A and B are shown apart, each in its own frame.
Chain A
């Protein structure tokens, strides 16, 4: 199984500041034939279902504000919120959809400092 490990487990950032979450996969999730990383980022607010923010490691889902971005390749990925807003308080998950069993990171809880 591909193990997804996020860091940190929790993060407190001031409003307007940058928030960065890392995700490391135990195996490469890069498909060399199409050069795509099969890596997604989801946001889950309390009492709500997950919401897709980023896919193919760096493609923003339609309607997602451009303060959210993703980067990385192979086994190391980063999710960034460039300027934290109050409504961004949530748990963020990375997920690989490269190989079954599809797996999620343990989640990173983002709070306001």
Chain B
């Protein structure tokens, strides 16, 4: 079964850091571009970041550029999102999503259940 399981969400103070993980199973992880999408409480979906299958290409939304870093460890079938300088507006459920092979296009056919990041003092 194809599955994505996020973890790492927590309560963090403004200005703090956090690393999210997304463990993949049931497919050849290294072949697929992976994405992060977030959803603030009661709000819609916001695209965050992408990384190619081999990790050579990345993309960040302007709202997180310079503060977040996406990475992956294909030997562990795991995707990461290192989040820094966290702001109130970063508070959200963070979803990882499986993209396509060979392209950063954000067409996501498998999603994890999400992990919650709360930013508060």
A residues with a Cβ closer than 8 A to B are 38, 40, 42, 44, 48-52, 55, 61, 93, 95, 97, 100-107
Residues of chain B within 8 A of A38, CB atoms compared: 105, 107
Given A55-B107, A97-B105, A97-B106, do A50 and B45 touch, yes or no (CB 8 Å)? Answer: yes
Residues of chain B within 8 A of A55, CB atoms compared: 107, 109
Q: Contact between B112 and A52 (Cβ–Cβ < 8 Å)?
A: no
Expressed in whole angstroms, the minimum distance between the Cβ of B41 and any Cβ of chain A is 13
Q: Contact between A106 and B44 (Cβ–Cβ < 8 Å)?
A: yes
Interface size on B, residues (CB 8 A): 19
B47's nearest neighbour on chain A, judged by CB, is A102
Instruction: Count A/B pairs, Cβ under 8 Å.
Output: 47
- In the assembled complex, the Cα of A42 lies from the Cα of B107 at a distance in Å of 10
The 22 listed contacts between A and B (C-beta, < 8 Å) are A38-B105, A40-B107, A42-B45, A44-B45, A48-B113, A49-B95, A49-B111, A49-B113, A50-B37, A50-B45, A50-B111, A52-B109, A55-B107, A93-B45, A97-B105, A97-B106, A100-B59, A101-B47, A102-B106, A105-B44, A106-B44, A107-B45
- The residues in B between 17 and 51 inclusive whose CB is less than 8 angstroms from any CB of A are 37, 44-47
Residues of chain A within 8 A of B61, CB atoms compared: 101
Residues of chain A within 8 A of B121, CB atoms compared: none
B residues with a Cβ closer than 8 A to A are 37, 44-47, 59, 61-62, 95, 104-109, 111-114
Given A102-B47, A106-B44, do A97 and B107 touch, yes or no (CB 8 Å)? Answer: yes
